[in-house]
Structure 1
Amino acid sequence: MHQPAQFEDDQSTPAKDRSFVTALARGLELLRAFGPGEEYLGNAELSSRTGIPRPTVSRLTYTLTQLGYLKHDTRLEKYRLGAGILALGYRFLASQGIREIARPYMQQLADATDCAIALGTVDRYSMTYLEVCQGSGPLVMRLETGSRIPVTTTAIGRAWLCGISKQQRETFLEGVRRRDPDGWPAVKKVMEKSLDDYARYGFCLSEGDWERDVSAVAIPLILEDGAEVMAINCGGSSLRLSHRILVENLGPRLKEIEQQIHAELRHGGDLLTRPS
């Protein structure tokens, strides 16, 4: 579910940061409000989802439409994302050279295991898939590039958390605790286990935690000495991916992919530092 951003009035900025442009932040928050399967949203819906006053939303949607980031449907009196957003997305993906390097190894593993292999990065409290390679079996998860899944309940999210610095992880998890105090004890417990798993195996697991019938294993990819951290996972139906298969087969094979990516990056430039 989309979490509304907490903005104050137009003359104030979060934490009294004079460099923070609230109007820009609000415009970007509107664009984030469009989720999968929700092509059209009206001003009232956008206001409800973001917590931004409706008159301000009306001005923002007008501006974003003029710039090509939103498209207005006069019949529905609603908006959908415009071509400008697509162009930005493609530019971002094109800049991620790691995708080109990782894709062949990911597809090879997907074909060999009949699993879904994904490369992802964090966006707030979700992981966004930058690249997805699928096996051909009927029980493969059919998530696509651009899909967003939770951080704390998924293997790929937990791997990302294990790959960032301790300080970054504590800051992120404190945000999780504030957002959902009631759910925090369970998150704390599972993160302690994930850190133990990562120390023991070099990868993280999720066995029915995100979806009851889905199991997965994942490793972090630490770029530019930790300046950027991504993660790569391997998942599928829990009916055939037992704990033993995850730990003894798929996890080690993901580590091989990480080593192969690492070797290519070292050959073309030292962009990736393996986790210590």
Structure 2
Amino acid sequence: MKRPGKKVATDRSFVVALSRGLDVLRAFHPNDGLLGNQELAARTNLPKPTISRLTYTLTKLGYLTPVPRFEKYQLAPSAMALGYAALANLGVRHLSEPYREALMRETGGAVAVGGRDRHSMIYFGQSRTGLLGVQLDVGSHVPIATTAMGRAYIWALPDDERASLLRELRDHYGNRWPKMRDGIERAGEMLAHRGFTISAGEWQDDVHAVGVPLKLSDGTGPYAFNCGAPAFRFTEDRLVNDIGPRLVTMVRNIETALGGAVPQSKKTQNKKPKAGGRVARLAEGIR
């Protein structure tokens, strides 16, 4: 986990201590159980003495529960309540549930909705059967750069925000970035042509999925949906000709139900990106 950059750290309105405290809470991942100061220091890149003060403070505030026997901590109910409160305020999660359930039954795939969490997408709504090999649930993280959901989110951003995120991803992934960048570029072209993105074995070898962004007119989001399954169930041909169009229809119906649909003219819908167009120019700006 990155510490605040120099520019942020010198911003007089930015509270570094608060940022570090939140980084400690974010260091706890699903199924982690207990974490000690040494593990927290490694995950946050903060000095161990700083971690000791932060865990003491968070314990006093009720966000961490100490387990003296192991000299470790676990998230307390107060910390978890923050997440549940956020989920309760996400109307898209509740409204989309019947749509997700219907698509799950139609396709046999897992259908999820998520939002950005730094360099990942976090699931806040998930519909799946127990028969699927993809065992992700609410709170699970998947990478932005290599998943269908993440790529759909990237291309839903305004140009300046997308360029900023892509630079972050370039710096984060280093020499792995060129291959990821190529996948993101292909996703942008496919989204422009077909309205969805795909990831066929680029995140996990045996997982295939499609992704569609959700844009709302109230200033929230954007969010993204995906529909995925083991590769033997969702072949690339089926992703492109069946699952993708179904997911696009589902998301457009959700946008309409939320009052956030943005009408597109046939000219805009049929416009095809050209080589050296916006996708290429953006890519050149982040090489």
Provide the TM-score with structure 2 as the length reference: 0.88
146, 150, 156: which one pairs with 2:139? 146
CA gap 1:75/1:15 in 2 versus in 1, 3 angstroms: closer
Contact 1:115 1:140 in 2 (8 A): no
The answer to whether 1:201 aligns with 2:199 is no
**Which blocks of at least 5 consecutive residues in structure 1 are unaligned?**
none
Change (3 A) 1:274 1:164: farther
Which whole-Å CA distance do the structure 1 matches of 2:262 and 2:63 have between them?
A: 36
Measure the CA separation in 2 of the matches of 1:217 and 1:114: 13
Q: Give structure 1 regions of 4+ aligned residues with deviation exceeding 4 angstroms.
A: none
Q: What SS does the corresponding residue of 1:254 show, helix, strand or coil?
A: helix
Structure 1 residue 5: deviation in Å? 2.1
Map of 1:263 onto structure 2: 256
Q: CA deviation at 1:68?
A: 1.4
Post-superposition Cα deviations, 1:116-169, rounded to whole Å, max 9, x if no partner, equal 000000000010001000135x33422111100101110000000011112111
Confirm or deny: 8 A CA contact 1:206 1:215 kept in the other structure: yes
Which string of whole-angstrom CA distances, capped at 9 and with x for unpartnered residues, describes residues 155-207 of structure 1?
Answer: 00000001111211110010111122201211221111111110111000000
Cα displacement (A) at 1:274: 6.3
Which residue type is aligned with residue 172 of structure 1? L
Distance 1:165-1:274 versus aligned 2 partners, 3 A rule: farther
Match of 2:45 in 1: 51
Q: TM-score, normalised by structure 1?
A: 0.91
Report the counterpart of residue 246 of structure 1 in structure 2. Answer: 239
Answer yes or no: is the 8 Å Cα contact 1:127–1:150 preserved in 2: yes
SS at match of 1:181: helix
Residue equivalent to 1:232 = 225
Shift of 1:15: 5.0
Offset from partner CA, 1:221-263 (integer Å, 9 cap, x none): 0123664200000000101211121111111111111121122
Aligned to 2:152: 159
Letter in 1 for 2:156: G
Contact 2:59/2:66, CA 8 A, preserved across alignment = yes
Are 2:111 and 2:128, in contact at CA under 8 Å, matched by a contact in 1? yes
Letter in 2 for 1:21: V
> C-alpha root-mean-square deviation of aligned residues, in Å?
1.7
State the distance in 1 between where 2:241 and 2:120 align: 28
